[in-house]
């Protein structure tokens, strides 16, 4: 299988092809899938309203939440109501949690919540600060925003499939495989294949004793891919999320990460075109390998991961060098 480092020149060429004609080189496929702000609101018989409130009770069996919600201007005063939710949102919901969501009403009188996000001040402040810092870093880097193999990966703060804030610093000391996907990607050889290969890599790495691996898939479509949507996506595919995280968050943060990791996207109506990239990041946060497109094999990434015996040797070597520097070496 062909591996190559996507240089800035290659990125420029790929961008011209993707954005000019919605296509890409043969070895750099582009996915097309439903996306965009109106894709979820296509039913003319439904009405949607922004909602904020606090969860009072969770019924996961029947997939309902009882929420004490704030006033919905022009529609409903503040009150306590029961709403239907998705499997993923029911799994994530916690009593006492403050949320923001979209209330969907139908002609039949049904009420359900979609696009549920945690709405606590601490999480919001952490992600907003990280997003601003990331945007500033991307702007300062300018045309050199794309990070080559050998550079440190950027810092970020996003939400995982459980609705928890995940900062990049959490992965320091661990090896990380990272890519970008979106849950509605309909092309079998794009996001679905990328996720399946991450699952294969997860199993292979465990078989050879790589115990410090983290797999991270960041959503290209944060407007749709809420924590609950990502949770349900993982459940449906029986994904072991013990060391495999699906991340989403502020659109500005995602755009900055796409620029810095060299992934190209273009929204055409309700179609999201994008390229694929898979990166391996070492324990120090440095990008050590990259494969563009979908033509990579899990075993090849596993071969590049540090194994337990190699890690022990490296640790002893570092200790020896420190001891020598202090005058106590051989």
Q: What pLDDT, on the 0 to 100 scale, is given for residue 217?
A: 99
12 annotated among ligand-binding-site residues: no
Q: How confident is the model at residue 314 (pLDDT cuts 50, 70, 90)?
A: low
Q: Which range, of 12-26, 32-46, 263-277, 281-295, averages the lowest pLDDT?
A: 12-26
The four Cα atoms 176, 12, 265, 243 give a dihedral, to 10 degrees, of: 0
Q: How confident is the model at residue 321 (pLDDT cuts 50, 70, 90)?
A: very low
Mean pLDDT to the nearest integer, 169-177 = 97
Q: What is the distance between the alpha carbons of residues 286 and 190, in angstroms, rounded to a whole number?
A: 25
Mean pLDDT to the nearest integer, 171-191 = 96
How confident is the model over 108-150, as pLDDT tens digits? 789 999 999 999 999 999 999 999 999 999 999 998 899 999 9
Beta carbons of 80 and 68 less than 8 angstroms apart = yes
13 annotated among ligand-binding-site residues: no
Summary mean pLDDT of the chain = 86
Q: How confident is the model at residue 3 (pLDDT cuts 50, 70, 90)?
A: very low
How confident is the model over 275-293, as pLDDT tens digits? 999 999 999 999 999 999 9
Q: What are the residues whose beta carbons fall under 8 Å from the beta carbon of 62, sequence distance 6 or more?
A: none
Q: Is it the case that residue 34 has pLDDT exceeding 90?
A: no
Domain ranges (residues) in the chain: 8-30+122-313, 49-119
Domain 8-30+122-313 has CATH 3.30.930.10: no
CA-based nearest residue to 152, from 171, 125, 165, 136: 171
Fold classification of 49-119 is OB fold (Dihydrolipoamide Acetyltransferase, E2P) (2.40.50)
How confident is the model over 229-263, as pLDDT tens digits? 999 999 999 999 999 999 999 999 999 999 999 99
Q: What is the distance between the alpha carbons of residues 214 and 243, in angstroms, rounded to a whole number?
A: 5
What Å distances lie between residue 321 and 33, 230, 284, 312, CA to CA?
52, 45, 18, 14
Q: How confident is the model at residue 20 (pLDDT cuts 50, 70, 90)?
A: very low
Q: What is the distance between the alpha carbons of residues 130 and 252, in angstroms, rounded to a whole number?
A: 10
Beta carbons of 309 and 315 less than 8 angstroms apart = no
Mean pLDDT to the nearest integer, 220-236 = 98
């Amino acid at each position: 299988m062909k591996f190559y480092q996507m240089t800035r020149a290659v990125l420029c060429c790929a961008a011209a092809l993707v954005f000019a004609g919605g296509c890409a080189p043969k070895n750099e496929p582009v996915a097309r899938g439903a996306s965009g702000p109106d894709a979820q609101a296509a039913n003319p018989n439904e009405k949607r309203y922004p909602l904020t409130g606090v969860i009072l009770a969770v019924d996961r069996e029947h997939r309902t939440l009882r929420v004490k919600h704030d006033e919905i201007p022009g529609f409903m005063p503040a009150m306590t109501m029961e709403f239907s939710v998705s499997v993923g949102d029911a799994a994530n919901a916690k009593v006492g949690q403050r949320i923001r969501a979209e209330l969907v009403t139908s002609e039949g009188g049904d009420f359900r919540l979609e696009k549920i996000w945690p709405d606590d001040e601490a999480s919001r402040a952490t992600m907003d600060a990280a997003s601003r810092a990331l945007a500033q870093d991307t702007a300062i880097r300018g045309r050199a925003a794309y990070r080559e193999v050998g550079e440190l990966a950027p810092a970020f703060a996003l939400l995982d499939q459980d609705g928890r804030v995940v900062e990049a610093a959490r992965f320091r000391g661990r090896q990380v495989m990272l890519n970008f996907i979106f849950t509605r990607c309909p092309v079998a050889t794009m996001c679905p294949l990328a996720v399946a290969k991450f699952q294969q890599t997860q199993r292979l790495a465990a078989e050879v004793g790589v115990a410090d691996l983290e797999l991270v898939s960041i959503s290209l479509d944060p407007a749709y891919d809420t924590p609950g949507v990502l949770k349900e996506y993982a459940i449906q595919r029986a994904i072991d999320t013990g060391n495999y995280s699906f991340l989403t968050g502020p659109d500005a943060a995602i755009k900055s990460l796409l620029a810095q990791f060299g992934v190209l996207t273009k929204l055409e109506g309700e179609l999201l075109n994008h390229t694929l990239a898979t990166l391996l990041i070492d324990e120090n946060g440095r990008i050590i390998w990259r494969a563009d497109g979908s033509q990579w094999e899990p075993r090849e990434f596993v071969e590049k991961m540090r194994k337990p015996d190699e890690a022990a040797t490296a640790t002893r070597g570092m200790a020896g060098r420190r001891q020598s520097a202090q005058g106590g070496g051989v």
